[in-house]
Amino acid sequence: MSNVLYDALIARHATNNAVFLVLDDGTEVSFAAFAARMAQLAHVLVQVGVTPGDRVVVQAPKLLDTIALYGAALQAGAVYLPLNTAYTKSEMKYFIEDATPALVVCDARNKADLADICAGNAEILTLAADGTGSLSTQANDKPCLFKTVPRGPDDLAALLYTSGTTGRSKGAMLSHKNLLSNAQSLSAIWQITDTDRLIHALPIFHTHGLFVAMNTSLLSGTQVRFMAAFDVEAIVAEIPASTMLMGVPTFYTRLLDDTRLTKDLVASMRLFVSGSAPLLAETHTAFEARTRHRILERYGMTETNMITSNPFEGERLAGTVGYALPGTEVEITDNGKPVVAGEIGMIEVRGDNVFQGYWNMPEKTAEELRETGFFITGDLGIKSKDGRVSIVGREKDLIISGGYNIYPKEIEDVINDVKGVLESAVFGVPHADYGESVLAAIVLDNTNLSAIDIATSVEPHLARFKHPRRYIITDALPRNTMGKVQKNVLRANASTGFVSSI
């Protein structure tokens, strides 16, 4: 029996001496050296007690060993669970207790906090930018070959958490088949080959940076300029030697602010991809005017990987997310029944890319994953007669800011715990740079609490990207006749009619 994902992405590169990664300090890492490093790390995983099916939680900086650890977990038959580096101790506590990992790998600076959470129930190893982390140092003297653990198409390869409007995060179980099928589809339709060079400035703790960018690059033998973080100077310097950039809308608005972005600068580029948040039509238009390139938008979710894409060859329309990927079915429904072309309905998707269900949540899985195999996305959309999909809204109040999913209920729970707050409503408004900005409307309980007081109380409990950019004090929240808060009214009145805000 083979190891489906590892064999397809990595095993075949064991003797490939072509350059795979180019790091910020200029270090070049070949495919073969990358595979060897994975093997060394896999030996460490087994040494500390990781067995097939065990979860490996990773909250670590974007380093060579962090991305190599993904492959090592696959090779050892483990389940890779990356977490946002901005998550606080209280947020990490939930993930670790829910996933019950055998191993937690973290930034060396956070070891004490995570050791307190794990309380001896999981091994803890560290990673550090200078290579002194315990995982790296233990791997350095290990063999460069590792006997790959067999894993089948339906075995879990990764567990990625995606929050729900109830505030409780859900672990999406992704199999070897889920991830490989999506990488194969994207590589084919975007015509990614070993002649490409990808600029990678995305985080590697979510689907876009990890699975879309890295899996397609490994599958296609593509060279990757692996950046620790997004930096306009670095990207402008790398564009002339590259062919692809995968980013979020913020990348493109920041590049447009730089006068060096011209048609001549991007002469070698063949593909700019945007995802993780809606791209404003004005950004799409401005980028084309400056570069003669139309940004390619695609649509996906943690539970499904990528679902649709605008065509590589063909018209890329601003405001649409294109057509269903090969092997993926997309239906627009009303109570589960397909609607006619042009009508708004729920986006549902079925295919090898669709996840296996939610970790430890069989009831939630049954609610969102039909027996027919269709996943109910929660997004509202329209499909044209020729199959092009446009997203028109979200059934739930998900906010996407800077490429990150933000769920209002989680933030509302933290705000409502502040003494003196009666109730709150968190909502998103359009933002030219981040896609959406987070706002919070607050009703006080007969106190003189200020917006700054609330912000100060909330700050330690939420990752920075979840912090509301404005706290608006109001006398009451608008409600309909059923008592439901009307967030559409809050959005419309966000700039007027409130007592105070920051």
Q: Domain containing 224 — which CATH number?
A: 3.40.50.12780
Distance CA 101, CA 82 (A): 12
Q: Where are the alpha helices (DSSP H) in 165-205?
A: 176-189
Could you give the C-alpha distances from 296 to 189, 271, 274, 304, 500, in angstroms and in order?
A: 12, 7, 6, 19, 40
Residue 490 Cα distances to 142, 427, 450, 460, 474, angstroms:
58, 8, 19, 26, 10
The H-or-E segment that residue 47 falls in is helix 31-47
β-pairing verdict for 296-301 and 28-30: unpaired
Among 215, 233, 251, where does a domain finish?
Answer: 233
State the residue range of the domain holding 158: 4-233
Q: Which helix (H) or strand (E) holds 56?
A: strand 55-59
Q: What is the rounded distance in angstroms from the CA atom of residue 403 to the CA atom of residue 86? A: 14
Q: Which tokens belong to 210?
A: 């990890």
The answer to whether residue 500 sits within a structural domain is no
> What pLDDT, on the 0 to 100 scale, is given for residue 410?
81
Structure tokens that stand for 461 in this block: 């409990």
Closest by CA position to 106, among listed 224, 122, 179: 122
Query: Distance between CA atoms of 309 and 453, rounded to whole angstroms?
Result: 44
Dist CA 47 CA 51 (whole Å) = 10
Residue at a domain's end among 178, 208, 233: 233
Between CA 318 and CA 178 the distance in angstroms is: 28
Q: How many domains does the chain have?
A: 2
Per DSSP, the three-state class of 443 is strand
Quote the pLDDT of residue 393.
67
Tokens of 428: 């998103």
Q: List per-residue pLDDT tens for the chain, 502 residues long.
A: 799 999 999 999 999 999 999 999 999 999 999 999 999 999 999 999 999 999 999 999 999 999 999 999 999 999 999 999 989 998 899 999 999 999 999 999 999 999 999 988 999 999 999 999 999 999 999 999 999 999 999 999 999 998 543 457 899 999 999 999 999 999 999 999 999 999 999 999 989 999 999 999 999 999 999 999 999 999 999 999 999 999 988 899 999 999 999 999 999 999 999 988 778 788 899 999 999 999 999 999 999 999 999 999 999 988 899 999 999 999 999 989 999 999 988 999 999 999 999 999 999 999 999 999 999 998 888 999 999 999 876 666 778 888 887 878 789 889 988 999 988 999 998 888 888 899 999 999 888 899 999 999 999 999 999 999 999 999 999 876 445 688 878 988 885 444 344 5
Instruction: State how far the Cα of 383 lies from the Cα of 31, in Å rounded to an integer.
Output: 41
Residue 34 covered by a domain:
yes
Residue 167: inside a domain, yes or no?
Answer: yes
Output b/e per residue, 66-76; b: 16+ Cβ within 10 A: bbbbbbbbbbb
Q: Is residue 366 part of a domain?
A: no
Q: What is the pTM of this model?
A: 0.84
Q: Which of 214, 233, 252 is the last residue of a domain?
A: 233
C-alpha angle with apex 236: 232 to 240, nearest 5 degrees?
A: 160
Residue 425 falls inside a structural domain: yes
Rounded-to-integer distance, Cα 239 and Cα 397, Å = 37
The answer to the question of residue 361 being in a domain is no
d(CA 464, CA 292): 35
- DSSP, res 16: -
Contact (Cβ atoms closer than 8 angstroms) between residue 415 and residue 439: no
Residue 135 inside a domain? The answer is yes
Task: Decide if 390 is inside a domain.
Answer: no
For position 459, which CATH number holds?
3.30.300.30
